[in-house]
Chain A
Amino acid sequence: MPEIITTVYDVFMRTYPGFLEATVVTLQLTAIGVILGTVIGLVFALMKISGSKILQAIANIYITIIRGTPLIVQIMFLYFGIVELYTMSNFWAGAIALGVHNGAYIAEIFRGSIQGIDPGQREASMSLGMDRRQTMSRIVFPQALRRSIPPLGNQFIITLKDSSLVYIIGVAEIFSLGNREAAQSYQPFESFLVVALYYLVLVMIFTFLLRLYENKLDVDRA
């Protein structure tokens, strides 16, 4: 047992400069994936609640396809579909794939929080003479957005882990580096243990930050 600890320690010490760079790449992929996903998600959530049958159908098709296929397939699809057409870096192909993937899940998060707002809020606003647009932008959306933050944070953590799948198109993020390290060093067990630790620590940090934020929200509105 002590022996494994020392070998893992050795692997860690030998590889951390590379891993720190890879961590930056992972965080960039995650951030772009979530931000792009939020923009896409907002658009599709609005389409779903728009009342227009056509827009709803388009949104439903998108959400069904994304949720019904593996992320790794979507990454390959985007990579060969787009990078081939427009000379785009592998990094951006991966980041966009994560964004498009997240968009479907985030659309459902937004839709859920908008529809979860008590209809009485809308009625009160309308009864005061506010029109549909004012009611949405000033009463419904601000409340829905606040409700979306915990599930969005959760989605961020999922994306952080999911970003490992873009190793398949050769983006130098944490998993990809670990994979190479495992092959080169003939120490696969130790290498993947180190990889797991990087993800675990990142997830724990973001979980902690999310908790902090949720508690603050509770305190503000309690």
Chain B
Amino acid sequence: MIIGENIHKSFGDLEVLKGVDLHVKPQEVVVLVGVSGSGKSTLLRCFNFLEMINDGKITIDGHTVNPKKDNLTKIRAEVGMVFQHFNLFPHKTVLENVIEAPITVKKMKKEAAKKLGTELLEKVGLGDKANVYPSKLSGGQKQRVAIARSLAMQPKVMLFDEPTSALDPELVGEVLQVMKQLAEEGMTMVVVTHEMKFAKEVADRIIMIDEGKIIESADPKNFFENPQNERTKQFIQLVE
């Protein structure tokens, strides 16, 4: 569904991704772990073309993206992204947040978009919040709206960048619950998270990134019980 091959990304002299290969199959849930600064966010941002790679190639749903020729706007619309800090639009109500892109990008009729938006809000358990502004919501509610907003574009794959890291502990569960449900429905997902319980339960594969390289890739059982790389062993001790 989404394939990265030999991805290199530098910021000036700092090489952040040093040849990453990642092949995410349709309906697969991949959890990315790694210490802070290892390049996890950068990798997700490259997959969504918020950052341009310096070398390598990215294939989405069978189409190898040519950043110079392709309409990146269109490609971004097919890859959903959920951010650590939600990034809801504060000047729009919850429902307006969700229907903004379907209306402006897909030219969906307002009535149809509202119907879709309302359904998605109900799906994430926020049907009653459609007409309030984001500032009135808790962090967990905000993140669920952000997920609904992303889903409204019917993306082929969803990228989550530490979706629960900014939340109070008691609000983490409601967001993970929604993500788990999405996974069960067959959404292809790449999730950066420190929630190891979620990784064990939901991930098909856990990948460890260290200093811009993939150093471990295994199903959850093998990842935790039989890690190959020394750094992975250290990481697991740290989080367990």
Contacts and interface: CB of A to CB of B under 8 A. Distances in A.
Nearest to A137: B104
A130 B149 CA distance: 13
> Range of interface residues on chain A?
20 to 34
Nearest to B75: A129
Nearest to A138: B104
Given A120-B83, A221-B135, A129 B74 contact: yes
Given A121-B87, A134-B104, A128 B135 contact: no
B85 A123 contact: no
A126 interface: yes
A139 B78 CA distance: 20
B202 to A, nearest CB: 22
A146 interface: yes
A4 interface: no
B87 A146 contact: no
Contacts of A127: 48, 50, 76, 79-81, 150
B165 to A, nearest CB: 14
B89 interface: yes
A217 to B, nearest CB: 11
A123 B50 contact: yes
Nearest to A131: B73
Interface string B100-126: 110011000000000000000000000
A130 B77 CA distance: 8
| Most B Cβ at <10 Å: residue of A118, A126, A127, A143 | A127
Interface in B84-105: 85, 87-91, 100-101, 104-105
B91 A130 contact: no
B207 interface: no
A201 interface: no
B225 to A, nearest CB: 36
Interface in A111-165: 118, 120-121, 123-131, 134, 138-139, 142-143, 146
A118 B100 CA distance: 18
B150 A128 contact: yes
Contacts of A143: 89-91
A142 B92 CA distance: 10
28 contacts: A120-B85, A120-B87, A123-B50, A123-B81, A123-B83, A124-B87, A124-B88, A124-B89, A126-B76, A127-B48, A127-B50, A127-B80, A127-B150, A128-B76, A128-B77, A128-B105, A128-B153, A129-B73, A129-B153, A130-B73, A130-B100, A130-B101, A138-B100, A143-B89, A221-B90, A221-B91, A221-B135, A222-B135
Interface of A: 118, 120-121, 123-131, 134, 138-139, 142-143, 146, 220-222
